[in-house]
Amino acid sequence: MSSRFKMPQGESTLLLIIFFVYLLTRLPPLLTMPLILDEAVYSVMIEEQMANPSLIPTFLGHFTSWKPPLFFWVYSVFSRLPLPFEAVYRFPSFLFGLASVVMLYKYFRRLELGRYVSFFSALIFLFSFISLYPDSTALTDSLLFFLIIGSLYAYSQKELGSWRFGIGFLLSFAAFFVKHLVAFVIPLLAILYFYTYEKKKLRSPVFLVSLLAAPLAFAAHILLLGSLGLADDLYQTEMQVHIFGTSFEAAVLTVEGSITTLFMMLVPWLPLSFFGFWKYWRENALMSVWYLLVLVPLAGAYYMPWYFLPALPAASYFTALTLVKWEGKENVDLFFLGVFTVLVLLWAVSVVLYYDSLYKYLIPQKEVGLLLSGKENVLVLGHYPPGTISYKMNTERRKGSVKDFGWVLSHPDNTEVNLSKFVYDYRGSHYSSIVNGSFNGMFTQHKTVFRKDTNVTEFDYVAAVVLPHARDTAVSVPGSEVIYNRSYITVYKIN
């Protein structure tokens, strides 16, 4: 009995399979998971841009330098769709992710990488947590990758003539206003494409001008942030701390966390991609250099797997080569399909286990946010609880009235501040470093307490957030009744 297996031949059939795999993998987390950490912050910012669009995004009414505005503008357009709470913010990512994987397959076919190598590269790309996560959350990375792969695909469209350079320029410029310096991957990969496939075009004036999109966007963004005094916050403080850390020891820990993330989130494909790169790196300069870009996020990914997304196509490609290509030919037989199925099942089990633990961690923030929604005189106190803030504010916004509330945020490693003092004296000087109103530095200034503007003078409800790994003591609220206590959040009702 032959072990050969007849794969579908038609492009439409292969794309249909990709489409159904996308639905099967993306819809469950999109519909079931509570808002995840920064995603919750972005949901508040999306709503603020829907109400009051601005060239620099705002959080709680104050300008922030975290991300440029395009992501928030685009996602705000979808924020009034009649969808479940989480899905309304995630739906744009779902659409951009779907369009991206289709373009990725077509781009690989344009590069003449082989029908089944291209097809299984796209499937491996989908069966990776690095792409699954941003496609099913309201993060910037799905839109960013859509613009990156869209720009590269446009550059490869010879039939468009010089128009392809204009499209590449526009998409590259837009990519910068989604996630800053990551957009510089586009001119690099564009140069490599033309070096590998169309060397004569490397000297084209129109092509060379198109490479200026990201640098021009960079300059425009610095001027824009500088007009509000935020340029230093982003390019000298936040990026420096994020990439290089506050010390050599911190930088080493960041790299260790990034390496751990890469291995955990590319289970079980990463070793296969190593082998494929070792065996086939000479065959295609574009794909080989693209694969090496996986090293760049090691400086700052630190348990944020989506940082590796721009390099994932090349990792998927070399994995597919390892599995599909034998003796110079594409070989898809029953043995291959059995091995591939086992690898996918291993991936699925790891994803389910990860999402299960993440769900248990996040659900208290959602429950408390919904519990406090609609209530007056609320204080949220302690460590980073973005889900609680989002569920409270945005469910109230859907009902037509956002209630004023207080919020005091402190980093878990900041053991010097007594958070309990803010309950009965919110505006007091209980700590040497307090920033009022703006939370712009909350991700980098770990020795600073951030206090939200509020007109509330006395609080009836206090949600105390003390993360499990924190070294400081729990918040105490004398003369109160505990109405919620789960994991790391306790809600008090002051009598």
pLDDT of residue 474: 67
Closest residue by Cα to residue 188 from 316, 320, 310, 283: 310
Residue showing tokens 């797997």: 305
- pLDDT tens digits for the chain (495 residues)? 345 567 888 899 999 999 999 999 999 999 999 999 999 999 999 999 999 999 999 999 999 999 999 999 999 999 999 999 999 999 999 999 999 999 999 999 999 999 999 999 999 999 999 999 999 999 999 999 999 999 999 999 999 999 999 999 999 999 999 999 999 999 999 999 999 999 999 999 999 999 999 999 999 999 998 888 888 777 766 566 666 666 778 788 888 999 999 999 998 999 999 999 999 999 999 999 999 999 999 988 888 999 999 999 999 999 999 999 887 788 888 889 999 999 999 999 999 999 999 999 999 999 999 999 999 999 999 999 999 999 999 999 999 999 999 999 998 877 788 889 999 999 998 888 999 999 999 988 888 999 999 999 999 999 999 887 665 556 888 889 999 999 899 999 998
pLDDT of residue 238: 57
User: Residues 490, 484: contact at Cβ < 8 Å?
Assistant: yes
pLDDT of residue 136: 98
Token reading at 228: 């509000």
Is the whole model's pTM more than 0.85, yes or no? yes
Where would I find the beta strands (DSSP E) of 287-429?
Answer: 325-326, 329-330, 378-382, 405-409
CA distance 110 to 114: 9
User: Residues 478, 442: contact at Cβ < 8 Å?
Assistant: no
Token reading at 288: 């080989």
Domain parsing of the chain, residue ranges: 11-332, 364-494
Please give the radius of gyration of the chain, using alpha carbons only, rounded to the nearest integer.
Answer: 24
Non-local CB neighbours of 190 within 8 Å, separated by 6+ positions:
151, 152, 155, 168, 207, 210, 211
CA distance 220 to 225: 9
Q: Are strands 489-494 and 461-465 parallel, antiparallel or unpaired?
A: antiparallel
Q: What is the 3-state secondary structure (H, E, C) of 37-67?
A: CHHHHHHHHHHHHHHCCCCCCEECCEECCCC
CA distance 59 to 403: 16
pLDDT of residue 243: 63
Token reading at 49: 């841009």
pLDDT of residue 425: 94
For 167: left if phi > 0, alpha if psi spans -120 to 50, otherwise beta; the answer is alpha
